[in-house]
Amino acid sequence: MAEAIQVIKVAALSGSLRKASFNTGLIRSAIELSKESVNGIQIEEIDISQLPLLNTDLIVNGNYPSAVEAFRQKILKADSVLFASPENNYSFSAPLKNAMDWASLPPNCWGDKAAAVVSAGGGFGGGRSHYHLRQIGVYLDLHFINKPELFLNAFQPPAKFDDDGNLIDAETKERLKEILVALRDFTLRLHK
**Cα separation, 152 vs 40, whole angstroms:** 26
Of residues 67 and 90, which shows the higher confidence score?
A: 67
pTM of the model: 0.95
Q: Which domains does the chain have, with CATH numbers?
A: 9-191 (3.40.50.360)
Bridge-partner residues for 136, per DSSP? Answer: none
Look at residue 62 and give its three-state secondary structure.
coil
Tell me the percentage of the chain whose pLDDT exceeds 90: 89
Nearest to 183 by CA among 116, 110, 133: 116
| pLDDT above 80: residue 4 | no
